[in-house]
């Protein structure tokens, strides 16, 4: 390990949540430090980053990419180190035969606890996907390979972000991938994995010193995060690339109307969320009331009303 890697690991294992007087973030910044055994093409790198972002950012984690070799990189306690091993390109695919029982990536533990370091084996991914990639149009082959590699990255980030050693029964958090899954459109986390990733966001966001702790409203922010609302609309309702700001549309908005909207599967909001593979929230009446009270408290900065 180089000096920067050792420093990052020490901070990630022993440091607490980052504090500060800044206002609460709309999404949690999460720095991903990367290194490559052999630098891939810009198209492959862009595809990896875009796909990882599209998977984890709507859940609430905002990936920021840094090179592990860049000594000027910012150090953060919310981070992961991803090391890409082997050949991360799509040239000479016939060199690597396909194997079904091949290790595509792994995370590591220290004293039984998962640490924020993952290895992704590009040559193994090539081998698994070689047959399918040769049938893919040459112009899109780098994109498809990068997207598949990103799904392996997202799998390892799931372990790092949740500290979960076990796998789910399907989706990106499952124990083994088929080539068809990695090459398919819309391969995402299943509901159980998304819920775990969201629960991990709660203490991180609530630890911000900029969050106004108002008596009687402690439950609402937790529901707003764990239900997935903050992932698309931002923790303070200010909006993200995945969902608009929650603005007052010239009229009041009641708890009953909020309950109706959450029960309505015909809205654009529902179609957009499910289109991104995000589970739709199912809240009890008391949870809806707590959520409405929290959203009402934000009206001074970013008032809440029907977004669609």
The yes-or-no verdict on residue 193 having pLDDT over 60 is: yes
- Amino acid 75: pLDDT: 58
The fraction of the chain above a pLDDT of 70, given in percent, is 75
The yes-or-no verdict on residue 182 having pLDDT over 60 is: yes
Quick one: tokens of 273?
A: 């969320």
Q: How far apart are the first and last CA of the chain?
A: 50
Q: How far apart are CA 109 and CA 6, in angstroms?
A: 15
- Please compute, for residue 110, the number of CA atoms within 13 A of its CA located in the half-sphere on the CB side: 10
Q: How far apart are CA 111 and CA 28, in angstroms?
A: 27
Task: For residue range 18-45, list pLDDT tens digits in order.
Answer: 444 344 455 667 899 999 998 899 999 9
Q: How far apart are CA 227 and CA 249, in angstroms?
A: 23
Summarize the confidence of residues 187-215 as an average pLDDT: 73
* pLDDT-wise least confident of 44-48, 68-72, 98-102, 279-283: 98-102
Top pLDDT among 216 and 200 is at 200
The yes-or-no verdict on residue 134 having pLDDT over 80 is: yes
> pTM of this prediction?
0.75
Distances (CA, A) of 207 to 183, 187, 292: 38, 32, 22
Quick one: tokens of 197?
A: 């990733």
- Amino acid 149: pLDDT: 98
Q: How far apart are CA 86 and CA 154, in angstroms?
A: 18
The yes-or-no verdict on residue 220 having pLDDT over 70 is: yes
User: How many CB atoms are located within 10 Å of the residue 24 CB?
Assistant: 18
**Fold of the 216-297 domain:** Cytochrome Bc1 Complex; Chain D, domain 2 (1.10.760)
Task: For residue range 232-264, list pLDDT tens digits in order.
Answer: 787 777 777 777 777 533 345 677 888 888 888
- Please compute, for residue 170, the number of CA atoms within 13 A of its CA located in the half-sphere on the CB side: 4
Quick one: tokens of 269?
A: 């909001």
Most confident of 21-35, 52-66, 289-303: 52-66
* pLDDT-wise least confident of 146-155, 242-251, 288-297: 242-251
Q: Compute the mean pLDDT over every residue in the chain, rounded to the nearest whole number.
A: 78
CA angle (145, 192, 58) in 5-degree steps: 55
Task: For residue range 89-124, list pLDDT tens digits in order.
Answer: 998 877 655 555 579 999 999 999 999 999 999 999
Name 75's Cβ contacts closer than 8 Å, sequence gap at least 6.
7, 8, 11
Task: Parse the chain into domains and list their residue ranges.
Answer: 3-194, 216-297
- Amino acid 208: pLDDT: 55
Evaluate whether the domain defined by 3-194 bears CATH number 3.40.390: yes
- Amino acid 25: pLDDT: 52
Q: What is the DSSP string of 240-297?
A: BTTB------SS---HHHHHHHHH-TTSHHHHHHHHTTPPPP---HHHHHHHHHHHHH
- Amino acid 74: pLDDT: 54
The yes-or-no verdict on residue 148 having pLDDT over 90 is: yes
């Amino acid at each position: 390990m180089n000096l920067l890697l050792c420093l990052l690991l020490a901070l990630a294992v022993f440091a607490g949540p980052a504090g500060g007087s800044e206002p609460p973030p709309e999404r949690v910044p999460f720095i991903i430090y990367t290194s490559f055994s052999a630098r891939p093409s810009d198209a492959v790198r862009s595809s990896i980053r875009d796909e990882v972002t599209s998977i984890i950012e709507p859940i609430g984690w905002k990936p920021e990419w840094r090179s592990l070799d860049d000594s000027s990189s910012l150090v953060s306690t919310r981070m992961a180190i991803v090391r890409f091993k082997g050949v991360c390109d799509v040239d000479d695919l016939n060199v690597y035969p396909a194997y079904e029982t091949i290790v595509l990536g792994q995370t590591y533990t220290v004293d039984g606890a998962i640490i924020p370091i993952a290895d992704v084996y590009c040559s193994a991914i090539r081998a698994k996907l070689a047959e399918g990639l040769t049938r893919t149009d040459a112009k899109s082959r780098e994109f498809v390979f990068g997207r598949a590699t990103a799904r392996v990255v997202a799998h390892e980030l799931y372990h790092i972000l949740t500290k979960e050693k076990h796998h789910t029964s399907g989706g990106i958090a499952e124990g083994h991938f088929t080539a068809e899954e990695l090459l398919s459109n819309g391969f995402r986390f299943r509901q159980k994995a998304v819920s775990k990733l969201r629960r991990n966001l709660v203490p991180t966001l609530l630890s911000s010193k900029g969050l106004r702790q108002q008596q009687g409203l402690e439950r609402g922010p937790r529901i707003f995060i764990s239900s997935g609302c903050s992932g698309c609309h931002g923790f303070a309702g200010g909006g993200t690339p995945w969902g608009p700001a929650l603005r007052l549309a010239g009229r009041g908005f009641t708890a009953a109307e909020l309950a109706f909207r959450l029960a309505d599967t015909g809205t654009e909001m529902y179609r957009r969320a499910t289109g991104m593979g995000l589970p739709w929230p199912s809240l009890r009446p008391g949870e809806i009331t707590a959520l409405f009270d929290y959203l009402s408290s934000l009206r001074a900065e970013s008032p809440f009303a029907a977004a669609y």
